[in-house]
Amino acid sequence: MSAKSQAVIPDIVIGRLPLYLRALRRLQQEEKSVTSSHELGRRLDISSAQIRKDLSHFGGFGKQGTGYQIVYLIDKLQEVLQINQEWMVAVVGAGNLGIAISHYRGFQDRGFRIAHLFDVNPQKIGQRIGEFVVQPVASLREIIRHEGIKIAMLAVPAKDAQTVADQLVDAGVQAILNYAPININVPAEVQIQYIDPVTHLQHMTFYLEE
């Protein structure tokens, strides 16, 4: 128990928790109040044993013979992932992608709120995009520092990504979600994740016929 709560959890397990959470929210929308590792597994295409083992890293959330209380499990997973608070997020890049991100309503109830939208282009600065006014990248450092923003989404052209990432890190950002199709170097203590639709498409074409 006390030993377990200190143990290092494999990163691959952490990566699955958001998927569990997503499926649990869905079950909740369907008015269900209890679920099982089997039901979750069927929906996510993950074995029930894996789900039980993953959850067991954080303590016994379920009840034998019954399963898991959905509300309770959601609450616990949000606690584990530290999203029982709302994180402020900065978006850099007000191109088509940055604009789409800024309009997306899906961050709201999952732990994140977009606080600022930055761009370098003087033509874009000052423009109103949804509920945001595009701010100059030049003021990024001061704003992020001042507001203690820890998370940023990077939606700038590949050629600018490393430079902007450096500025974000310098401003105190500790987690970057990079949409630019290029690998970025950041200090080991800074989290980085990538979204590049083309890599997913290329992964799938390997298996296509013809």
Partner DNA sequence: CTGCATTTGTGAAACTTTCAACAAAGACCA
Partner DNA sequence: TGGTCTTTGTTGAAAGTTTCACAAATGCAG
Which one of residues 4, 22, 53, 146 is an interface residue with a second copy (CB under 8 A)?
22
SS3 state of residue 103: helix
Query: Whose CA is closest to 89, among 8, 209, 179?
Result: 179
Which one of residues 81, 113, 126, 138 is an interface residue with a second copy (CB under 8 A)?
81
Q: Cβ of residue 194: shortest distance to DNA, in angstroms?
A: 16
**Contact between 28 and a second copy (CB under 8 A)?**
no
Residue 92 binds which entry of a second copy, DNA, none, with Cβ cut-offs from 5 to 8 Å by kind?
none
Count, residues near a second copy per rule CB under 8 A: 57
- Euclidean distance between CA atoms 22 and 126, whole angstroms: 36
At residue 32, what is the residue type?
K
SS3 state of residue 92: strand
**Contact between 19 and a second copy (CB under 8 A)?**
yes
**Contact between 63 and a second copy (CB under 8 A)?**
no
Which one of residues 103, 113, 145, 146 is an interface residue with a second copy (CB under 8 A)?
103
Query: Whose CA is closest to 95, among 161, 141, 44?
Result: 161
Using CB under 7 A, list all residues that contact DNA. 10-13, 36-38, 46-50, 52-53, 55-56, 60-68
Q: Cβ of residue 130: shortest distance to a second copy, in angstroms?
A: 9
- Euclidean distance between CA atoms 91 and 108, whole angstroms: 15
The torsion of the CA quartet 85, 144, 97, 193, rounded to 10 degrees, works out to -60
Q: Judging by beta carbons within 10 Å of its beta carbon (0-12, 13-18, 19+), is residue 134 exposed, middle or buried?
A: buried
Q: 132: which 2 tokens?
A: 């945001």
At residue 20, what is the residue type?
Y
Q: Cβ of residue 8: shortest distance to DNA, in angstroms?
A: 9
**Contact between 15 and a second copy (CB under 8 A)?**
yes
Binding positions for a second copy, rule: CB under 8 A: 14-15, 17-19, 21-23, 26, 43-45, 80-83, 87, 89, 96-97, 99-101, 103-104, 106-107, 110-112, 150-151, 153, 174-175, 177, 181-183, 191, 193, 195-210
